Structure 1
Amino acid sequence: MAAFFSLLRRLYLSVYNWTVFFGWSQVLYHVLITLKESGHENVYNAAEKPLLFAQTAAVLEILHGLVGLVRSPVSATLPQIGSRLYLTWGILWSFPETRSHVLVTSLLISWSITEIIRYSFFGFKEAFGFAPSWLLWLRYSTFLLLYPTGISSEVGLIYIALPFIKASEKYCIRMPNKWNFSFDYFYAAILALGIYVPGSPHMYTYMLAQRKKALSKSKRE
């Protein structure tokens, strides 16, 4: 029975990883084609559907960690996925005024390359029990450049969205109301920017430690 559940787990994770890999490949394809043919102003519209699919599917990774399907700690997975979902739905989808900015292009290129490598790495491991050494190196090395460009783009887009958030009052809850509760999305966005200050160096340090551990292990093997 244990062997059956182990096989079922690997089959599910293989399908999940290769499906989301395909989604991010579509994002990168549409970004590059659109960038070449009509400029960065149209990149978001071209890549929106695969972006919403691929990024939203990552919610399952939080569940994978909670139920023990994967060993990745939820404490590391949750903030990364949470911030990306916030950018995807809470900024780009919610405020169309931000979509034509050049930072959308740098954001989607950084995200898609990172995720294409990551999901193919885990896809190989689940489907075949191993990942090629070159893919292992890419998995734990490309973030050195792509993480800073991705984070910078995220912070920049939140900042750019601030005046539109304030003017629209979208997602705000004003008093009086039956819940006796108020919420201002503008200040929530400012708080999100503040979280990036300690959060980004922490995640980068964590990833550097993971890189050292993974590459050292591969050399011993």
Structure 2
Amino acid sequence: MAESSSLLRRLYLSLYNWALFIGWFQVLYLALKTLNESGPQHVYSAVQRPLLIAQSAAGLEILHGLVGLVRSPITATLPQISSRLFLIWGILWSFAETQSHALVSSLVISWSITEIIRYSFYGMKEALGSQPSWLQWLRYSTFLLLYPIGISSEVGLIYLALPYIKNSEKYCIRMPNAWNFSFDYFYFSIICLVIYVPGSPHMYQYMLGQRKKVLSKSKSKSKGD
């Protein structure tokens, strides 16, 4: 029974990771093709559907952590996935004024390269039980450059959206109302922006720690062999 459960888990995670790999590969292909042919102002419209699908599907990773399908700590997964969902739905999809900015290109390209590497890494791990050393190196090294680019793009797009959020009053709840509750999306977005200040360095330090641990272990294993 336990063996059957383990097999189903590996099959599900393998399919999940390779499906997301294909989704992000499509995002990267369309982004680079559009950037080359039409310019950065058209990148979002070209990648919108696969971007929304691929990043929204990543929300399942929170569930995977909660039910114990994967060992990734929920404290690391939750803030990263939540911030990305806020970006794609709460900023880019909700405020068209941000969609033609050049930061969309840097955001999409840095995200998609990161995820192509990450999902192929885990896809091979689940399907084959191992992955090549070069892919492991990419998994734990490319973030050194791509993470700062992605975070800078996220922060920049939220900041650019603030005037449009304030003027539109979209998603705001004003009093009086039956719930006796008010919500201002403009100030909520500012709070999200402020969270990046301590959150980004903390996440970067966490990933540096993971890189050191994994690559040191891999190096020691190679010497042992």
TM-score computed with the length of structure 1 as normaliser: 1.00
2:124 corresponds in structure 1 to 124
Structure 1 vs Structure 2: percent identity of aligned residues?
76
Root mean square deviation, CA, Å: 0.4
Cα offset, 1:34, TM superposition: 0.2
Distance in 2 (alpha carbons) for counterparts of 1:166 and 1:188? 11
Distance in 2 (alpha carbons) for counterparts of 1:40 and 1:130? 38
Distance in 2 (alpha carbons) for counterparts of 1:183 and 1:193? 17
2:177 corresponds in structure 1 to 177
1:39 corresponds in structure 2 to 39
Cα offset, 1:154, TM superposition: 0.2
Distance in 1 (alpha carbons) for counterparts of 2:119 and 2:90? 24
Distance in 2 (alpha carbons) for counterparts of 1:32 and 1:110? 11
Runs of at least 5 residues in structure 2 that lack an aligned partner in the other structure: none
Cα offset, 1:219, TM superposition: 1.0
Distance in 2 (alpha carbons) for counterparts of 1:6 and 1:216? 28
Q: Deviations over 1:158-187 (max 9, x none)?
A: 000000000100000000000000000000
2:69 corresponds in structure 1 to 69
1:199 corresponds in structure 2 to 199
Q: Deviations over 1:136-170 (max 9, x none)?
A: 00000000000000000000000000000001000
Distance in 1 (alpha carbons) for counterparts of 2:191 and 2:159? 11
Distance in 2 (alpha carbons) for counterparts of 1:197 and 1:71? 27
Consecutive aligned runs of 4 or more in structure 1 exceeding 2 Å deviation: none
Runs of at least 5 residues in structure 1 that lack an aligned partner in the other structure: none
Cα offset, 1:73, TM superposition: 0.5
2:50 corresponds in structure 1 to 50
Cα offset, 1:90, TM superposition: 0.4
Distance in 1 (alpha carbons) for counterparts of 2:70 and 2:220? 23
1:89 corresponds in structure 2 to 89
Cα offset, 1:220, TM superposition: 1.7
Cα offset, 1:72, TM superposition: 0.3
2:20 corresponds in structure 1 to 20
Cα offset, 1:69, TM superposition: 0.3
Q: Deviations over 1:20-40 (max 9, x none)?
A: 010000000000000010000
Q: Give the aligned residue type for 1:147.
A: Y
Distance in 2 (alpha carbons) for counterparts of 1:18 and 1:96? 31
Distance in 1 (alpha carbons) for counterparts of 2:101 and 2:20? 26
- Count the aligned residue pairs: 221
TM-score computed with the length of structure 2 as normaliser: 0.98
Q: Deviations over 1:180-209 (max 9, x none)?
A: 000000000100110000000000000000
